Amino acid sequence: MKTEHEVFGGPPGTSYDVARWRDDFPILRERVHGKALVYFDNAATTHKPQAVLDAEARYYAHDNANVHRGVHTLSQRATDAFESARAKVQHFVNAEAVDAYEKLLGPHTRLVAVTHLSNALGSIVPVKRVIDLARAKNVPTLIDGAQAVSHLAVDVRALDCDFYAFSSHKIFGPTGIGALYGKAARLKAMPPYQGGGDMIRAVTFEKTEYNEIPYKFEAGTPNIAGAIGFGVALDCVSAIGLDAIGNHERDLLAYATREVSCIPGLRIIGTAQEKASILSFTLDGVHPHDIGTILDREGIAIRAGHHCAMPVMQKFGITGTARASFAFYNTREEVDKLVAGIHQVRRMFR
């Protein structure tokens, strides 16, 4: 009996070995009129690998019972196996994630906070769907756009989120400042969280009247120079245009993905269909920090570690990744240097 990983001779990433995979189909060893079978009628029906034959035989031999009916052991085993097949189908067509979130949305949900673009994986989260489902249950939404705004054109009104936050320093502006968009009705209903100059309209011993939004939330002397720099950074990005930036970065990411995919032992972490500008990877037998250190000697700066996303790392069964993240000023030539650098790491750890 084969385990799941053995079904096709190895874990994902193993190179395409047709002979090994044919081995799993006993019927392909069949001879017809004394000749080796050449089966080209796969459109009519396909052959079944040994693992499929074994699973069916095992069910009839050990677990056979009707599903969802009985409380007895066989019925429970049959139900578990049947339902686990449903989960595999959902996963196969990427249908299961959306549902899991819907189940989490309950009467006790106070806020849905979700990232727009994962800093660890590069996955673009379908936030519109997330927001629509929350809205249907009257739950306010907060989107973390720290990674998204420099790669995607963001329209908070089209998204219809309640809050959208992003940092200036990730979009070519100064550190220490960022922006929080909020729907006016939400912000008006919220009390100030800090006291200081500018947030008060009138004060008497009887009562305090707060300033209107946004000043109510901007107590004290602000980071004036930072705000001005932040604004100019947004001008720069708008002058190039996020559509043009998106196209350039998509090309870079596709190119880099293709180039690193042939490096032996390299595993890309984060392979969502919709992704942007982040190439996270591990290299068999090499700690991500060592990758970072060796690349640094070649003048190549990447990030190594868990990227403040430990649960994500846990889900992939790793402690960290090496992460190259691209911006509109990066080039294919730089990607070539990265790829050469990773090859060098590979050689050093062979």
Ligand X SMILES: *Cc1c(COP(=O)(O)O)cnc(C)c1O
123 or 346: CB nearest ligand X: 123
Q: Which stretch binds ligand X (CB under 6 A): 2-10, 37-45, 132-140, 142-150?
A: 142-150
**Binding test (CB under 6 A) with ligand X, winner from 119, 141, 277, 280:** 119
146 contacts ligand X (rule: CB under 6 A): yes
Matching residue, tokens 């996303």: 309
Which has the closest alpha carbon to 319: 275, 278, 282, 266? 282
Q: Is the dihedral of CA 14, 20, 22, 27 positive or negative?
A: negative
330 contacts ligand X (rule: CB under 6 A): no
Task: Please give the size of the binding site for ligand X, defined by CB under 6 A.
Answer: 9
Query: Burial letters for 285-295: b for 16+ Cβ neighbours within 10 Å, e otherwise?
Result: ebebebbbebb
Q: Which of 161, 236, 262, 308 is catalytic?
A: 308
147 or 277: CB nearest ligand X: 147
**Binding test (CB under 6 A) with ligand X, winner from 24, 78, 115, 163:** 115
Task: Kindly state the smallest distance separating residue 177's Cβ from ligand X, in Å.
Answer: 8
178 or 292: CB nearest ligand X: 178
176 or 214: CB nearest ligand X: 176
169 or 337: CB nearest ligand X: 169
Which has the closest alpha carbon to 111: 178, 192, 165? 165
Residues 155-194 that bind ligand X (CB under 6 A): 167, 169-170, 178
Task: Kindly state the smallest distance separating residue 193's Cβ from ligand X, in Å.
Answer: 17
**Binding test (CB under 6 A) with ligand X, winner from 112, 124, 140, 147:** 147
Task: Kindly state the smallest distance separating residue 266's Cβ from ligand X, in Å.
Answer: 24
Burial class (CB in 10 A: 0-12, 13-18, 19+), 341: buried
Q: How far apart are the first and last CA of the chain?
A: 34
Is residue 308 annotated as part of the catalytic site, yes or no?
A: yes
Backbone angles phi, psi at 167, to 5 degrees: -100, 145
Task: Kindly state the smallest distance separating residue 169's Cβ from ligand X, in Å.
Answer: 6
Task: Kindly state the smallest distance separating residue 118's Cβ from ligand X, in Å.
Answer: 7
Task: Kindly state the smallest distance separating residue 337's Cβ from ligand X, in Å.
Answer: 24
144 contacts ligand X (rule: CB under 6 A): yes
Tokens of 216: 């109510």
> Does an H or E element contain 166, and which?
strand 163-167
Cα 7 to Cα 299: distance, rounded to the nearest angstrom: 43
Interior angle at CA 143, CA 137 and CA 146, nearest 5: 175
Cα 350 to Cα 343: distance, rounded to the nearest angstrom: 11
170 or 216: CB nearest ligand X: 170
Indicate the Cα dihedral angle 77, 78, 82, 85, nearest 10°. 50
* Sites of contact with ligand X (CB under 6 A): 115, 119, 144, 146-147, 167, 169-170, 178
Q: Which residues are catalytic, by number?
A: 308
